[in-house]
Amino acid sequence: MPTQPSHPPESRLWIRNPLAAFTANTLDASGGIVVSGGVITEVLAAGQLPSAPCQETFDAGSHVLLPGLINTHHHFYQTLTRAWGPVANAPLFPWLQNLYPVWARLRPRDLELATTVALAELLLSGCTTAADHHYLFPDGMEGAIDIEVRAVRELGMRATLTRGSMTLGEDDGGLPPQSTVQLPEVILADSERLVREYHERGDGAVIQIALAPCSPFSVTKEIMAESALMASRLDVRLHTHLAETLDEEDFCREMFGLRTVDYLDSVGWLTDRTWLGHGIHFSDAEIARLGAAGTAVAHCPTSNMRLASGTARVLELEAAGVPVGLGVDGSASNDASNMILEARQALYLQRLRYGAQVPVERALGWATRGSAAVLGRPDLGQLAPGMQADLALFKLEELRFSGSHDPLAALLLCGADRADRVMVGGQWRVVDGHIPGLDVAPLIAEHSAAARKLVNG
């Protein structure tokens, strides 16, 4: 597994004079930043020197410096079902109905491989924190979140791991097969165990746990309400899919007699503890209600385009006070786990809705400061004194960047897809475009074999 390169925690590192820097705030970091003890201690303007000697210096003159990118919605296990032919051209409901029986065959080693692949791919794209929504617990997979915790720690990243659930199976009018449905008492007991065992609080937290009944078409109102009560009691966040497709809207009307936001309110989820995956099909009045409550949205542009689900009204959500971040979603509806490409896709999709004046910096803001707000992490997503030293540094030396002029714009407009350096908590986790100690070739071989076995039964 990856080695964990380190330097003495008391040392000061000056990341000096970047080619360009995006701080996600009004600070000027053209002179670089100083890192010590895992946090950013100084942000330097052009020509400004650190206030005290630095034991180490990294010349960032050929790098674009960003806060580490933050992924607010993913399904790590889905790296095993990328570009699967039977669902390559299907919208959400048929896509799910074909994939659920495949996913129900998931086993612990499959999940370990899938999670490692997803995290490594994210890390190489400049992502330092990821939220995963895992809701599949067939027999033998009771320790799924524990497997994910170990993988996150081994890669040296941060994660919000959400204990998902499904309680509304096919027999009761839901979409998932009965083999993937759990009893409410089992779900709640495991949720409380995971929070007690793994959830870290405060600045610098590495692992956080949230409660995440899957979607209106796969859970009962009872587990939604009980999860909300538990989240309030344990002081953790809530996550679910909502308003992803018009089919889901129709389902909510037929099953519950409510539109999606009314449904959310009826189960105690219309709160600033909640963030929603997708959040596309809201009326003006519903957007206003979400904003008043502080409920957040994870915008997943690539998945929404792949499944033809629709386009989230991101600028209107933000104007109403809704925190908005980005998510790559699962690798069976995005088919990649790449956060810098997701920021590019978000920029272009929102320009289609609102016009070419949507700036590059706004899309980068969704991937950093916006995503941090969605996950309730005020210590992440910006270059500023006191923030965690989670950083992504990109070079512009490939053929695709030749002739580019604005380094920050070039990241998205020319399609950067791989970071050269990534730091998490003051420690380099990507060096020269590689994860130290991670042997990628055998990982790909075993993961690919597991993927073939999973889909072939």
User: What's the CATH class of domain 12-67+381-430?
Assistant: mainly beta
What tens digit of pLDDT does each residue of 19-44 get? 999 999 999 999 999 999 999 999 99
Q: Does domain 69-374 have CATH number 3.10.20.30?
A: no
Q: Is pLDDT of 457 > 90?
A: no
Query: Residue 421 region, left (φ>0) first, then alpha (ψ -120 to 50), else beta?
Result: beta
Both tokens of 424, joined, read 């998490």
Please, where in the chain does CATH 3.20.20.140 lie?
Answer: 69-374
pLDDT tens digit sequence for 110-134: 999 999 999 999 999 999 999 999 9
Query: What tens digit of pLDDT does each residue of 257-274 get?
Result: 999 999 999 999 999 999
Q: What is the mean pLDDT of residues 371-398?
A: 98
Calculate the average pLDDT of the chain. 96
- CATH 2.30.40.10 in the chain is located at 12-67+381-430
Q: What pTM was estimated for this model as a whole? A: 0.97
From CA 183, how far away is CA 413, in angstroms rounded?
Answer: 48
- Name which of 103, 195, 105, 214 is nearest 145 in CA terms: 195
Confidence grade of residue 1 (pLDDT, cut at 50, 70, 90):
low
Model confidence at 297: pLDDT above 70: yes
Alpha-carbon torsion (193, 194, 200, 201), positive or negative = negative
pLDDT on residue 2:
59
333-369 pLDDT, tens digit per residue, is 999 999 999 999 999 999 999 999 999 999 999 999 9
**The two structure tokens encoding residue 422:** 């990534």
3-state DSSP assignment of residue 354:
helix
